[in-house]
Amino acid sequence: MTRPDLPARDDHNLPDDIPEPAQIALSDLSAALTLGWRDFRRAPAFGLMFSAFYVLGGWALASVAFASGRDWWLIPFILGFPLIAPFAATGLYEVSRRIEAGQPLETARILRVVFEQRQRQIPSMAMVILLLFMFWVFVAHTVFALFMGVSALTHITSSAEVLLQGRGLAMLVLGTLIGGGFAAVLFSFTVVGLPLLLDREVDFITAIITSCRAVAANPGVMAAWAALIAIWLFVAIIPGFLGLLIVLPVLGHASWHIYRRVMAN
């Protein structure tokens, strides 16, 4: 079933109408980022609104961690942030889609589209994202226990001292590698899968398979895109999560344009 506010398209209805993923070049990443920045500048209020939820969530997690005297909990959450960041882009995809289609950027309509996703397939994809994130947190705690035993990291100073020595460094290296593996899997699932679910009436399994095929068709470019996302997100988190107010919207809008290039056939 076609969304009523989407332009009429012959290939919008059935999963078997989905085109083969196209090959893209590194220059497409630069072009997508330029368009992402353009979309953010054209509609900054939406970007700030959607990214503010993640900034507030980061502050809440940090407050709980520091209040409980276990600030080291922030490490797995920060390393795992790229796992849940893609879901923030859903509303941004709709903004970019409307800009691209020349449709009005009406707050009520955009929020309605985002809210109506609960009746479609994006909640199923969200469940996949959350389950992987929760499993990552469990694995991170397991790795910590294996390397540090019952040692307690109580505050930021002692945490840094322990983590930058011997077993602490080994734990960070292994944890980063494992977290990178989780992020790579979820990136493959969502880089095309999430915008595809917003753009077309397909089930989330079809979206995941199509997304993985797109990554397989563009391994080098997609690896570069994943690395850019991870680096930008980590840098954005450093100033008390405030950098996410700019980075998340730009990456979200750019991700839509990556999707459009990959599925342009």
pLDDT of residue 160 exceeding 60, the answer is: no
In the 8-state DSSP scheme, what is residue 85? G
Instruction: Decide if 196 contacts 207 (C-beta within 8 A).
Output: yes
pLDDT in tens, 172-194: 788 788 888 888 998 999 999 98
In percent, the amount of the chain with pLDDT more than 70 equals 77
Report the percentage of the chain scoring pLDDT > 90: 36
Residues 6 or more apart whose CB falls under 8 angstroms from that of 161 comprise: none
With left for phi above 0 and alpha for psi between -120 and 50, is residue 149 left, alpha or beta? Answer: left
pLDDT tops 90 at residue 155:
no
Tell me 7's DSSP state.
Answer: P
Burial 21-52 (b: 16+ CB within 10 A, else e): beebeeebbebbbebbebbbeebeebbebbbe
Q: Which of 101-105, 118-122, 203-207, 211-215 has the highest mean pLDDT?
A: 211-215
Q: Is the predicted pLDDT of residue 166 greater than 80, yes or no?
A: no
Q: What's the pLDDT score for residue 6?
A: 46
Please, are residues 87 and 126 in contact by the beta-carbon 8 Å criterion?
yes
Provide φ and ψ at 30, rounded to 5°: -60, -40
Question: Residue 85: is its pLDDT beyond 50?
Answer: yes
Specify the amino acid at residue 180. Answer: G
More confident residue, 81 or 49: 49
How many residues does the structure list for the chain? Answer: 265
The whole-angstrom separation of Cα 98 and Cα 101 is 5
